[in-house]
A and B are shown apart, each in its own frame.
Chain A
Amino acid sequence: MPRRIALVEDDATIRQNYAEALARAGYEVQAFADRPQAMRSLSTRLPDLAIIDIGLGAEIDGGFTLCRELRALSATLPIIFLSARDSDFDIVSGLRLGADDYLTKDASLPHLLARIAALFRRVEAGREPAKDDERLVRGPLELDAARMTALWHGRPVDLTVTEFWMVRSLARHPGHVKDRDTLMRDAEMVVDDGTITSHVKRIRRKFQAVDPAFDAIETVYGMGYRWTERA
């Protein structure tokens, strides 16, 4: 049985393009143009994943409202924000509301599909035994690529898919400087330098919430970032 994805997007052309691409990827797509319509349908039967635009027609922040409402219905439903907005403020607001990832509309369809797949893997992985080759352990850091989960000193760090990939890219080769382009590629992002910076900042903050002494991600100005392991 195919997974059901709810797509809430007010622009008809984008909606159709995305819906068709998702359908081609083997998902069952329910497309909605506005929040009330989406809420009416989704509240009766929750989808397996929701892709939501922030600005929905007349509702400037309709996507945020919808995200809150869906989160109230289900704590585990994967939600991806897809928006033309790219300000840190919107990203932070979206993630704080419990979205699992945030993409700007610059992202290509393959990028979007990679994220969707990753989120499904994360949901799925909980039910399957962990495979060793997908586990990465660097000192106190444990990454499980199958489950898309990160542990720091055994405590879970709640990373989005994008952030998980960035941490994985850095931690795979400790001491090596990863420039922004590499990070972007590894995290399947189409963003500019500034967004990488704010992503790294958010990752640090999430680790610091677990361990205030966290300083494993080092900024190498002009080049990028580096995962450092202390002896």
Chain B
Amino acid sequence: MGASFPHGIRFRLLLASLVLLAIPALAAQFINRMETFLRAAQEQDIAVTARAVASALSDRNALFPPSGTVALDPEDEERRRIVGLFAAADPEAAASLGTAYAPSEEIERFLDIMGRRASRLWVVDTRSRVRGLSGSLREPPAQRAESSRAAIASWLKPVVSLVVSSPEVPAGDESKPVRSQIDRALIGVSSTHWRGTRDREAAILSAAQPIFVGDDIVGAVVVEETTASILLLRQSALENLIALTLAVCLAAFAILLFFASRLATRIRRLHTEAEAAIDGQGRIRGAIAPTGARDEIGDLERTMAAMLGRLRDYNAWLEQMASRLSHELRTPVAVVRSSLDNLRSQSPDGEARVYLDRAEEGVERLSRLISRLSEGTRLEKMLESAEREPFDLAAVVGGCVEGYRGAYPGRAFDFEPPGGPVPMHGVPDAIAQLLDKLVENALDFAPAGSAIRIGLAADGRAARLSVANDGPPIQAEMLPRLFDAMVTARAEGVGRGGHLGLGLAIVRLVAEYHGGSARAINLPGGSGAHFEVTLPSGGSRHPG
């Protein structure tokens, strides 16, 4: 009944809601697909560009003079190289080429026209000299997002990387195209190639295309682009999606948790109420207050409340049955009794008188039984109107025991009075009646010659009054129901004393009225039965 259930509704709902985590995963997968698609598109695109540039440069002998035919003036070449260097959009790349950079003005002008933003074009001749270089892979600055975004991105990064891995590309030099690709282009194989960069996660996509003059390959065009734009797109999409789905998930979690908690609380409240409503003996002690909620739990509450109400009515009906029965039986008994009285006044002769005596004895017994039937109800009514007073329990018990010794001279009663008074607050008459019933019960079952042991012990807060006898043990399954009305543990008791099992119900009634309890146990070894009543002592007032 603790606060946390490892198998509670709340826990299970939360477990079930883990499925929600699939949403960001699906989103990431979608973005991955999108990225693949974008890359493929970019690949196609770049290949087309390369082809276009190559075909534009093809068949222009002037641009690619056959080697050896035109002796290049080294000075002129150096001058052009320096001019090219200054003009180059990517001076770093140009500079790194060193003497391999032999720009041709025409080619470079051409490339500047053909080139596009964020792409780099190379033209390499068959001697691996770079004849033209245009554009740069460097992104224009300030395209990287604002700081708040960056902050979100930075703490989302571990989450993002958990969900999607960046495509694996071999790292490479971003400043120069890949040698092998150029070589392949120079033998007529056009290709696209991915490679990584040193300082960034972005990859470089390059496409190489041979340049023909006639059927001869005179050079190659390499178009390079970074995937930075795709990456950026992917990144922001990922971040957006993941942030959004995470927020949605968290909200869903919170809502689920709230509902689950509410549900669990209401069910637990119902559980507590239901448990408190019926006590161990199956008697109705409390009530279930429906909250008026219009859902299934509300229905359950109402059903249980109604059920409890019907059960209470039925129990009340059962409990009052004895009283009603006795009332109903009194009239016919009165008919018999008054008839017998009238008969007697006719001065019957000897034999008739004997039968008359027997009939009167029977009526007497019947009348006593009937009176016992309603004893519980009458006692309840008496307790309702009784005034509680402080009294000494030891004195009451002592007096009663003296009374029993006088009333049953053939029986022994063992009683060791406690050292001092046992103060109590209650109805002493009712306590005496309680003890009467316990003793009557003990007398019915104790074998002849054995003593009835009456005990009284107090510890300041509670007094324990016990009556034990050496009779046969009580069946174990009867023990908890022994104090219910109309239950008799041993059938032979009914015929003799006319108990109908009401005596012990009265014990329970009085004990509970005083805020105490009654129980019965078998003495070890089947040596008898022990009835014990615990009563709060100390003279303090307690709710009745």
- Which residues of chain A have a CB within 8 Å of any CB of chain B? 11, 13-14, 17-18, 20-21, 24, 84-89, 104-106, 108-110, 179, 190-194, 197-198, 219-224
Evaluate contact between B379 and A221: CB separation under 8 angstroms: no
- Residues A106 and B345 in contact in the complex (CB < 8 Å), given A194-B433, A222-B403: no
Interface flags for B62-80 (1: CB within 8 Å of A; 0: not) read 0000000000000000000
Please report the C-alpha to C-alpha distance between residue A198 and residue B378 in the assembled complex, in whole angstroms.
Answer: 11
Evaluate contact between A194 and B342: CB separation under 8 angstroms: no
83-111 of chain B: CB within 8 A of chain A: none
Evaluate contact between B381 and A89: CB separation under 8 angstroms: yes
Identify which of A109, A190, A220 contacts B399 (C-beta below 8 A). A220
Question: Does B157 touch A at the CB level, under 8 Å?
Answer: no
Residue of B nearest to A104 (CB): B330
Evaluate contact between B432 and A221: CB separation under 8 angstroms: yes
- Residues A84 and B435 in contact in the complex (CB < 8 Å), given A21-B338, A110-B341, A223-B403: no
Interface flags for B375-390 (1: CB within 8 Å of A; 0: not) read 1011101100100000
367-411 of chain B: CB within 8 A of chain A: 367-368, 370-372, 374-375, 377-379, 381-382, 385, 395-397, 399-404, 406-407
- The minimal Cβ–Cβ distance linking A223 to chain B, given in whole angstroms, is 4
Evaluate contact between A87 and B400: CB separation under 8 angstroms: no
Evaluate contact between B338 and A14: CB separation under 8 angstroms: yes
Evaluate contact between A86 and B374: CB separation under 8 angstroms: yes
| Extra pairs beyond A24-B345, A106-B367, A194-B382 (7, CB < 8 Å) | A14-B334, A24-B342, A104-B330, A179-B403, A219-B429, A221-B399, A221-B429
Chief secondary structure at chain B's binding surface: helix
Evaluate contact between B338 and A109: CB separation under 8 angstroms: yes
Please report the C-alpha to C-alpha distance between residue A222 and residue B342 in the assembled complex, in whole angstroms.
Answer: 37
Question: Does B436 touch A at the CB level, under 8 Å?
Answer: yes
- Residues A198 and B382 in contact in the complex (CB < 8 Å), given A105-B333, A192-B371, A222-B404: yes
Residue pairs across A and B with Cβ atoms less than 8 A apart, 13 shown, are: A11-B335, A18-B338, A24-B345, A89-B381, A106-B337, A108-B341, A109-B342, A194-B378, A194-B433, A197-B429, A221-B395, A221-B397, A221-B432
Q: 6 nearest interchain CB pairs? A: A222-B400, A222-B403, A105-B334, A17-B338, A109-B341, A84-B330
Evaluate contact between B385 and A88: CB separation under 8 angstroms: yes
Residue of B nearest to A25 (CB): B345
- Chain A residues with CB below 8 A from B367, complex form: 106, 190
Identify which of A21, A192, A198 contacts B372 (C-beta below 8 A). A192
